[in-house]
């Protein structure tokens, strides 16, 4: 082992540790790795920047745009009615329809927008069937993952591996080549979920379950600080306007300006209007506070309180929300949306303390309270997706649906017949949907998940460094030597295929699927060369295993997305996902050697 190989493995270990630690976003970690590879001399700058010539990330970005166009024109909303119409059928039949419909769509567009669009459909389906949403949400994610394994454009992982093997001089995947493995796995996976889903999936409560019955009965009202009030100059706590009294102060308006609420420092002044969420006992207490009068009583001559009942709602933060990276305090949530955030759910944890300072991440679940008017206004934005309010479907645009479907069909056809490289066809398709008004230019740029693209570039640089330093060949040689000492020559190809698959699958469950695909593909190629076998089956195994992640909520981004929505626990994914992982492994070991012989 040379010092370059040792240093590279050290950087790789640090990178993987950062991915697990999650202190920094994965894309930032990958870009840091890119810079370090140049800084320590493992890659020359010209060589490192050559990864930006790889067409795979560009194709991934183009597919994000085409997926957004398909959602925007209302095509997926029309397809979702097929699932909604199955509500009266038995659970097994509904599951088959759900998985097969979602998988079919996910085979041709990015998985995340499919899950985002179908999420409210599945929640409505659960209410109609009188089921807990947790009985349907994991299968929704699994269906998107399974569908992505069926075509080259089904998921970014497939495109990443394709870009790597083309750069190494191997033939590119054809558009439907992966379907030899993906389609039978999807069908058998759908049958497994239909037969075992109701038995293995848990009944989980959503975020509202952490509130007591009294906390759910809060009212939005206003109070007015009278001139001469004995509470002038006192803080909210000193005035008795605290949570212990059944009062949650949402904001203070002074001279038509909303103030930042700091209970320990903001002191009341004459004319202040205090917006509050009160439990019934809180309203009674406020009426007894001298010098602070309810606005409704001032207006109505001390008649019956006409406070608005505050509605509790849950919403998930979608991947392209404007809230991402900002805390509740930074976006001035109370004043901006006239809503108060009561709790936040993230990766299995319900957070009720210091919510205002936590940066918001994709997939976070917010429990909020506000008036119906405020909720409707927030629901009309794209910053949050509400669970208990029907999603406003995209306005059907038959002409634009025809254009977008025609563009996607053209991209698929030209790529299948090898008339045009997939990256050129996808970019041309993006131009057409923008020129024809199916998608605005700003919407197209916003649809691209840039963090995934930069993660891919960073890990492609690592793969290049492994080749340049000889680390990939060194690692492949030691792996092969170990297998040859333990396994008869007749079976070494199949055993090595299983090893490559299992290592990729295990790493994918705890790390980024794109990162692991970029890391394992060069190793798989090196192993094939050492064994003197065709590399095709090994890269197919890496491609499939890097997507088929079902056993953890962090293995695939759609798993993470439904994790909080369904109120799941980590072990719920293990219980339903591990058998599916085993099923995928068995199918892969049967199909791969027959379709792509050694």
pLDDT band for position 104 (cuts 50, 70, 90): very high
**In this predicted structure, what is the pLDDT of residue 173?**
93
Least confident of 283-297, 319-333, 339-353, 562-576: 283-297
**In this predicted structure, what is the pLDDT of residue 281?**
60
CA 487 to chain centre: 41
Give whichever of 93-102, 197-206, 209-218 has the largest mean pLDDT: 93-102
Percent of the chain residues topping a pLDDT of 70: 86
Q: Mutual orientation of helices 492-510 and 471-486 as an angle, nearest 10°?
A: 130
Distance CA 567, CA 206 (A): 5
Among candidate residues 196, 158, 198, 164, the one with its CA nearest the CA of residue 178: 158
pLDDT tens-place string over residues 411-447: 999 988 889 888 999 999 999 999 998 889 988 998 8
pLDDT tens-place string over residues 250-286: 778 787 776 766 656 778 888 888 777 676 566 666 6
Q: If you average pLDDT over every residue of the chain, what do you get?
A: 83
pLDDT band for position 389 (cuts 50, 70, 90): low
The owner of tokens 């306005």 is 395
Q: Which domains does the chain have, with CATH numbers?
A: 3-205+404-595 (no CATH), 219-309 (3.30.70.1450), 311-386 (3.30.70.1450)
**In this predicted structure, what is the pLDDT of residue 302?**
30
Res. 298: pLDDT tops 60 = no
Distance CA 134, CA 566 (A): 5
3-class secondary structure for 59-127? HHHHHHHHHHHHHHCCHHHHHHHHHHCCCCCCHHHHHHHHHHHHHHHHCCCCHHHHHHHHHHHHHHHHH
How many Cβ atoms are within 10 Å of 376's Cβ, its own excluded?
Answer: 12
- What is the value of pTM for the model shown? 0.79
User: Across residues 107-127, what is the average pLDDT?
Assistant: 85
């Amino acid at each position: 082992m040379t010092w370059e190989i040792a240093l590279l493995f050290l950087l790789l270990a640090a990178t993987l540790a950062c991915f697990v630690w999650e202190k920094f976003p994965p894309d930032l970690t990958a870009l840091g790795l890119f810079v370090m590879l140049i800084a320590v001399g493992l890659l020359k700058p010209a060589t490192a920047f050559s990864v930006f010539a790889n067409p795979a990330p560009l194709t991934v970005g183009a597919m994000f745009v085409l997926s957004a166009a398909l959602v925007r024109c209302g095509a997926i909303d029309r397809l979702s009615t097929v699932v909604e119409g199955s509500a009266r059928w038995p659970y097994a039949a509904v599951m088959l329809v759900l998985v097969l419909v979602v998988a079919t769509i996910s085979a041709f567009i990015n998985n995340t927008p499919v899950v985002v669009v179908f999420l409210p459909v599945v929640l409505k389906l659960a209410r109609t069937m009188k089921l807990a949403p947790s009985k349907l949400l994991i299968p929704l994610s699994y269906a998107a993952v399974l569908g992505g394994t069926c075509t080259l454009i089904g998921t970014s992982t497939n495109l990443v591996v394709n870009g790597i093997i083309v750069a190494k001089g191997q033939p590119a995947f054809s558009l439907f080549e992966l379907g030899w493995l993906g389609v039978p796995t999807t069908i058998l996976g759908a049958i497994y979920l239909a037969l075992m889903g109701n038995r293995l999936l848990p009944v989980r409560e959503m975020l509202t379950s952490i509130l007591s019955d009294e906390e759910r009965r809060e009212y939005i009202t206003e109070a007015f600080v009278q001139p001469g009030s004995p509470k002038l100059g006192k803080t909210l706590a000193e005035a008795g306007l605290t949570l212990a009294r059944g009062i949650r102060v949402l904001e203070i308006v002074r001279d038509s300006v909303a103030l930042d609420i700091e209970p320990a420092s903001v002191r009341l002044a004459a004319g202040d209007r205090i917006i509050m969420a009160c439990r019934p006992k809180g309203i009674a207490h406020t009426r007894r506070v001298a010098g602070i009068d309810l606005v409704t009583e001032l207006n109505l001559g001390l008649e019956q309180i006409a406070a608005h009942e505050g509605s509790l709602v849950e919403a998930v933060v979608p991947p392209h929300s404007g809230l991402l990276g900002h805390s509740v305090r930074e976006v001035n949530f109370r004043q901006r949306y006239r809503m108060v955030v009561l709790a936040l759910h993230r990766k299995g944890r319900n957070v009720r303390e210091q919510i205002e300072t936590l940066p918001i991440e994709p997939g976070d679940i917010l429990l909020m309270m506000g008036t119906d008017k405020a909720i409707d206004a927030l629901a009309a934005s794209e910053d949050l997706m509400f669970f208990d309010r029907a999603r406003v479907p995209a306005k059907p645009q038959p002409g634009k649906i025809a254009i977008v479907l025609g563009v996607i069909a053209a991209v698929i056809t030209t790529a299948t017949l090898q008339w045009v490289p997939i990256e050129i066809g996808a970019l041309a398709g993006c131009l057409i949907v923008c020129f024809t008004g199916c998608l605005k230019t700003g919407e197209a740029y916003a649809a691209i998940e840039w963090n995934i693209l930069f993660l891919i570039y960073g890990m492609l640089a690592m793969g290049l460094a492994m080749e340049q330093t000889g680390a990939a060949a060194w690692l492949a040689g030691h792996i092969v030597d170990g297998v040859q000492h333990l396994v008869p020559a007749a079976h070494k190809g199949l055993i090595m295929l299983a090893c490559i698959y299992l290592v990729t699958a295990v790493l994918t469950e705890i790390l980024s699927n794109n990162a692991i695909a970029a890391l394992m593909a060069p190793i798989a190629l090196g192993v094939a060369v050492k064994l003197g076998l065709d590399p095709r089956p090994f890269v197919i195994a890496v491609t499939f295993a890097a997507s088929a992640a079902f056993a953890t909520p962090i293995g695939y981004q759609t798993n993470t997305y439904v994790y909080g929505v369904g109120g799941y626990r980590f072990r719920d994914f293990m219980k339903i996902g591990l058998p599916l992982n085993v099923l995928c492994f068995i199918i892969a070991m049967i199909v791969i050697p027959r379709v792509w012989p050694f």
